[in-house]
């Protein structure tokens, strides 16, 4: 890989690039290999390591040929064939380029025709080589309710590895996304920055190696931890795509490219619509019955949202799901809570003209369940060791086709019995301890075959139910990745719905994922007023998880109006361009803007994120993404009943003014959150 950067205007000049570098000697001739094999001349981190069927550990990969297929106007697929001259072993590298969005997906396919199985010990999806003076990594760490905490550091020589070994809920400590800025940390609008993300819902590994020549080698793929894969002759081993987007205009452009690509090519129904909803988790937890849910269905109607989502706690009979200690695995409606099953609720909802959705956590089992006793062999655990529980539960063995079938039928049965069911929230609360499958002969296949099994089930569900919206949840954002998002319409970023925290969490997610995929619920978390909470939740897919019956008349009136207000601009948030205007990490006021593709309307959200004395928007906030030559009317919207805006009504400014000088939303301790609507004046 001799160059990775802005396109040159004369393609003939690419060949002249290497001649311009006078870097230290490469003792291997392959520091910049497009897929670094190990065991021959390599001295650095490999992309692939194997043991051949005869026990030999060496691999050399030589270029054999390549092909470019133009898939459509926007997409081309380059494949590069590599072969080992000494063994009947080959790797094909794939590069799928999306020209308009500037996104590249890359993966590899490994195959051989040796006499016996080959052991794959490392099997990256991508192997990149970047040149720069210095490399600045923005990575993310977290835990429950603390997702997407950013850290920026300068990479030093040697290897920095970002990885997870958790198996399921794999991103609890670290999500499979990162950014590399070249030469200096990029800002929103300046600097060269590469985003990386892996389409994989299990263990991943990114090795970032500053090599002896000061180049940055990035080797990204599934984690090989405890996962040596035994590959049969003739069998293909396909690695999950690694996504990159490179911008030389800062983080903002890169994220808008990625958001566009995601909506167009990756998430389910990315260019479609979404359902606003009322969820009962925070208001009832496990304590509900049919009457309570029927009242909540009425509240859904009252609120004016599209759907009621019943959360955890509706199932289990011998071991009723009245807490998180029992019931997972037994997916029959609890007869005491719901004597007429789920069906009567769906019917009730339909009668009230709202849709009905349901929570499931199909990959899991509580030891207190019938399933645990009936199918101990379906559970991931060590046969002769004590069981360890995460949230009192264990993980089912998705590598086992019988388990795949069971999980598929949880969804299929619910939908067959209740064709009116309109939405699923698919949760996954546990990590894998004691990784052992009673089904697999080869234990080191478990982490990989688990995810492949999960995708098989999701494929099957999507084949039969291509349109039903599903939320991807994992005890909050424990499984937000582009592999899973192919099957889901949205994800749950965090159980932390404190709006102040959410401003930060949603800010970081927004670098990688579009607002249409980000489910935000208004809850009782946090000390901010209702308006603040709703404003924050509007920067994505709006939902509510509060007890409507406890709201004052004025609060209820406000919520109802807010739903209508949201309906009036949600298309801009879902399908428009997002601009992060004022960073909550470095400013007293955070500000985020969405502009529709024709640059004729926009919404700007601003919040006070520093409650010290006298803090507020002292300076105007510069807008972005408008048309300088157009004129825009600015109006404050989503005001709490009885309050008046402090902003002059009907002010009109040019796009030029709003982008050069800006506009002051007048955020202060009395006005902690402000939503502005921009409309072109013709
Ligand atoms: C997880 C989810 C929550 C809720 C609970 C139910 O923690 O993130 O939103 O669904 O499970 O047990």
Query: How far is Cα 231 from Cα 79, in angstroms, rounded to an integer?
Result: 21
Query: How far is Cα 538 from Cα 515, in angstroms, rounded to an integer?
Result: 9
Nearest residue to 50 (alpha-carbon basis) of 20, 102, 21, 88? 88
What would the pLDDT profile of 557-604 be if each residue is shown by its tens digit? 999 999 999 999 999 999 999 999 999 999 999 999 999 999 999 999
Q: Whose CA is nearest to atom 12 of ligand 1?
A: 312
Report helix angle 341-351 to 290-303, nearest 10.
Answer: 30
Q: Which atom of ligand 1 is nearest to the CA of 359?
A: 10
Q: How confident is the model at residue 354 (pLDDT cuts 50, 70, 90)?
A: very high
Q: Whose CA is nearest to atom 1 of ligand 1?
A: 475
**Is residue 207 a part of any domain in this protein?**
yes
What would the pLDDT profile of 251-293 be if each residue is shown by its tens digit? 999 999 999 999 999 999 999 999 999 999 999 999 999 999 9
Report residue 45 CA to chain centroid gap.
28
Which of 218, 242, 266 is the last residue before a domain boundary? Answer: 266
Which pLDDT score, from 0 to 100, does residue 556 have? 98
For 656-673, what is the mean pLDDT? 98
What would the pLDDT profile of 27-63 be if each residue is shown by its tens digit? 999 999 999 999 999 999 999 999 999 999 999 999 9
For 92-106, what is the mean pLDDT? 97
Which of 217, 249, 266 is the last residue before a domain boundary? Answer: 266
What would the pLDDT profile of 494-543 be if each residue is shown by its tens digit? 999 999 999 999 999 999 999 999 999 999 999 999 999 999 999 999 99
Q: Whose CA is nearest to atom 7 of ligand 1?
A: 475
**Is residue 512 a part of any domain in this protein?**
no
SS (H, E, C) 525-580: CCCCCHHHHHHHHCCCEEEECCCHHHCCHHHHHHHHHHHHHHHHHHHHHHHCEEEE
SS (H, E, C) 346-395: HHHHHHCCCEEEEEECCCEECCECHHHHHCHHHECCCCCCCCCCECCEEE
SS (H, E, C) 430-482: CCCCCCCCCCCCCHHHHHHHHHHHHHHHHHHHHHHCCCCCEEECECCECCCCC
CA of 460 to the centre of ligand 1 (A): 25
* Per-residue tokens: 367: 């030891």
Residue in 316, 429, 521 to alter for ligand 1 test, most ligand atoms within 8 A of Cβ: 429
b/e map of 504-535 (b: 16 or more CB within 10 Å)? bbbbbbbbbbbbbbbbbbbbebbebebbbbbb
SS (H, E, C) 610-677: CCCCCCCCCCCECCCCCCCCCEEEEEEECCCCCCCCCCCCCEEEEHHHHHHCCECCCCECCECEEEEE
Report residue 112 CA to chain centroid gap.
34
Q: Whose CA is nearest to atom 8 of ligand 1?
A: 475
CA of 506 to the centre of ligand 1 (A): 18
Q: Residue 678: in which H helix or E strand, if any?
A: strand 673-681
**Is residue 298 a part of any domain in this protein?**
no
Q: Residue 278: in which H helix or E strand, if any?
A: strand 277-279
Query: How far is Cα 293 from Cα 303, in angstroms, rounded to an integer?
Result: 15
* Per-residue tokens: 10: 């004369």
Residue in 313, 495, 497 to alter for ligand 1 test, most ligand atoms within 8 A of Cβ: 495
* Per-residue tokens: 608: 């006070």
Residue in 147, 168, 281, 286 to alter for ligand 1 test, most ligand atoms within 8 A of Cβ: 281
Which pLDDT score, from 0 to 100, does residue 233 have? 98
pTM of the full structure: 0.98
CA of 608 to the centre of ligand 1 (A): 29
Q: Whose CA is nearest to atom 6 of ligand 1?
A: 312
Q: How confident is the model at residue 399 (pLDDT cuts 50, 70, 90)?
A: very high
Q: Which domain holds residue 247?
A: 11-266
Which pLDDT score, from 0 to 100, does residue 642 have? 96
CA of 426 to the centre of ligand 1 (A): 10
Please count the structural domains in the chain: 2
Which pLDDT score, from 0 to 100, does residue 121 have? 98
CA of 388 to the centre of ligand 1 (A): 20
Mean of per-residue pLDDT scores for the chain: 98
Nearest residue to 135 (alpha-carbon basis) of 223, 38, 213? 213
Which of 232, 266, 300 is the last residue before a domain boundary? Answer: 266
For 440-453, what is the mean pLDDT? 98
**Is residue 279 a part of any domain in this protein?**
no
Strand 177-182 relative to strand 470-472: parallel, antiparallel, unpaired? unpaired
Identify the CATH number of the domain in which residue 645 sits. Answer: 2.60.40.1180
E-strand spans in 8-102? 48-51, 62-70, 75-83, 89-98
Which pLDDT score, from 0 to 100, does residue 107 have? 98
Which pLDDT score, from 0 to 100, does residue 435 have? 98
26-32, long-range: CB < 8 A, 24+ apart:
26/213, 31/129, 31/211, 31/212, 31/213, 31/215, 31/217, 32/1, 32/2, 32/129, 32/215, 32/217
Q: Whose CA is nearest to atom 3 of ligand 1?
A: 475
Instruction: Give the gyration radius of the chain's Cα atoms.
Output: 26
Helix (H, G, I), strand (E, B) or coil at 296: helix
CA of 453 to the centre of ligand 1 (A): 23
Nearest residue to 491 (alpha-carbon basis) of 563, 425, 538? 425
Query: How far is Cα 375 from Cα 383, in angstroms, rounded to an integer?
Result: 13
* Per-residue tokens: 88: 């009947």
Q: Which residue ranges have their beta carbon within 6 Å of ligand 1?
A: 281, 311-312, 324, 359, 427, 429, 473, 475-476, 492, 495
Query: How far is Cα 78 from Cα 523, in angstroms, rounded to an integer?
Result: 47
Strand 589-595 relative to strand 577-582: parallel, antiparallel, unpaired? antiparallel
Q: Which atom of ligand 1 is nearest to the CA of 492?
A: 8
Q: Count of CB atoms within 10 A of residue 6's CB?
A: 10
**Is residue 229 a part of any domain in this protein?**
yes
Q: Which residues pair with 37 in a beta bridge?
A: 48
**Is residue 28 a part of any domain in this protein?**
yes
- Neighbouring C-alpha atoms within 13 Å toward the C-beta of 662: 15
Identify the CATH number of the domain in which residue 247 sits. Answer: 2.70.98.60
* Per-residue tokens: 665: 């939303």
Q: How confident is the model at residue 140 (pLDDT cuts 50, 70, 90)?
A: very high
Which pLDDT score, from 0 to 100, does residue 402 have? 98
Q: How confident is the model at residue 161 (pLDDT cuts 50, 70, 90)?
A: very high
Query: How far is Cα 308 from Cα 284, in angstroms, rounded to an integer?
Result: 13
CA of 470 to the centre of ligand 1 (A): 15
Which pLDDT score, from 0 to 100, does residue 449 have? 98
Q: How confident is the model at residue 635 (pLDDT cuts 50, 70, 90)?
A: very high
CA of 487 to the centre of ligand 1 (A): 19
Answer whether 679's CB lies under 8 Å from 633's CB.
Answer: yes
Q: Count of CB atoms within 10 A of residue 484's CB?
A: 24
CA of 440 to the centre of ligand 1 (A): 30
Q: In this structure, what is the dihedral angle of CA atoms 556, 561, 563, 565, given to the nearest 10 degrees?
A: -160
CA dist list (Å): 371 to 205, 226, 317, 429 = 34, 28, 12, 18
What would the pLDDT profile of 316-334 be if each residue is shown by its tens digit? 999 999 999 999 999 999 9
**Is residue 38 a part of any domain in this protein?**
yes
**Is residue 211 a part of any domain in this protein?**
yes
Nearest residue to 46 (alpha-carbon basis) of 91, 99, 103? 91
């Amino acid at each position: 890989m001799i160059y990775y950067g802005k396109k040159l205007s004369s393609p003939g000049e690419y060949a002249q690039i290497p001649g311009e570098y006078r870097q230290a000697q490469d003792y291997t001739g392959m520091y910049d290999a497009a897929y670094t094999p190990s065991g021959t001349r390599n001295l650095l981190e490999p992309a692939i390591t194997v043991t051949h069927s005869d026990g030999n550990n060496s691999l050399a990969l030589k270029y054999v040929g390549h092909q470019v297929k133009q898939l459509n106007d926007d997409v081309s697929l380059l494949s590069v064939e590599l072969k080992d001259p000494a063994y009947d072993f080959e790797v094909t590298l794939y590069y799928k380029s999306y020209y308009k969005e500037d996104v590249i997906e890359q993966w590899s396919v490994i195959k051989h025709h040796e006499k016996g199985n080959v052991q794959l010990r490392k099997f990256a999806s991508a192997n990149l080589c970047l040149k720069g003076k210095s490399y600045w990594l923005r990575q993310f760490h977290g835990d429950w309710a603390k997702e997407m905490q950013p850290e920026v550091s300068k990479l030093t020589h040697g290897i920095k590895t970002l990885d997870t070994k958790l198996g399921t809920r794999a991103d609890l400590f670290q999500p499979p996304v990162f950014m590399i800025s070249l030469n200096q940390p990029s800002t929103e609008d300046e600097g060269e920055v590469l985003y990386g993300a892996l389409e994989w819902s299990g263990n991943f590994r990114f090795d970032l190696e500053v090599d002896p020549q000061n180049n940055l080698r990035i080797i990204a793929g599934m984690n090989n931890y405890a996962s040596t894969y035994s590959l049969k002759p003739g069998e293909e081993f396909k690695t999950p795509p690694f996504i990159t987007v490179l911008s030389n205009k800062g983080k903002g452009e890169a994220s808008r490219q990625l958001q566009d690509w995601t909506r167009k090519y990756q998430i389910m129904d990315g260019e479609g619509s979404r359902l606003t909803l009322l969820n009962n988790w925070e208001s009832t937890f496990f304590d509900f019955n049919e009457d309570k849910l029927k009242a909540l269905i009425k509240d859904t109607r009252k609120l004016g949202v599209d759907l009621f989502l019943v959360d955890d706690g509706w199932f289990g009979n011998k071991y009723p799901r009245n807490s998180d200690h029992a019931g997972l695995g037994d997916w029959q409606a609890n007869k005491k809570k719901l004597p007429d099953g789920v069906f009567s609720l769906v019917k009730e909802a339909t009668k009230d003209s709202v849709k009905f959705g349901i929570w499931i956590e199909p990959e899991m089992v509580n030891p207190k369940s019938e399933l645990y006793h009936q199918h101990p062999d379906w559970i991931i655990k060590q046969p002769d060791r004590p069981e360890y529980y995460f949230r009192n539960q264990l993980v089912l063995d998705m590598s086992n086709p019988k388990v795949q079938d069971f999980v598929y039928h949880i969804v299929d049965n619910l939908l067959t019995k209740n064709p009116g069911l309109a939405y699923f929230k698919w949760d996954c609360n546990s990590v894998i301890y004691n990784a052992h499958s009673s089904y697999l002969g080869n234990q080191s296949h478990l982490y990989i075959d688990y995810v492949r099994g999960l995708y098989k089930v999701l494929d099957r569900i999507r084949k039969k139910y291509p349109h039903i919206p599903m939320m991807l949840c994992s005890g909050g954002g424990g499984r937000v990745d582009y592999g899973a998002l192919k099957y889901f319409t949205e994800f749950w970023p965090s159980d932390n719905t404190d709006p102040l925290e959410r401003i930060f969490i949603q800010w970081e997610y927004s670098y990688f994922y579009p607002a249409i995929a980000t489910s935000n619920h208004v809850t009782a978390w946090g000390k901010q007023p209702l308006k603040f909470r709703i404003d924050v939740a509007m920067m994505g897919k709006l939902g509510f998880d509060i007890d409507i019956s406890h709201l004052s008349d004025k609060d209820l009136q406000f919520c109802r109006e807010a739903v209508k207000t949201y309906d009036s601009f949600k298309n801009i948030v879902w399908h428009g361009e997002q601009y992060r205007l004022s960073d909550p990490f470095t400013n007293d006021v955070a500000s985020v803007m969405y502009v529709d593709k024709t640059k004729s309307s926009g919404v700007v959200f601003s919040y006070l994120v520093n409650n010290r004395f006298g803090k507020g928007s002292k300076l105007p906030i510069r807008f972005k993404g408008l048309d300088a030559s157009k004129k825009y009317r600015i109006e404050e919207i989503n005001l709490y009943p009885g309050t008046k805006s402090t902003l002059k009504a009907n002010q009109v400014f040019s796009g030029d003014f709003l982008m050069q000088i800006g506009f002051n939303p007048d955020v202060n301790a009395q006005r902690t959150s402000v939503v502005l609507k921009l409309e072109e004046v013709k």
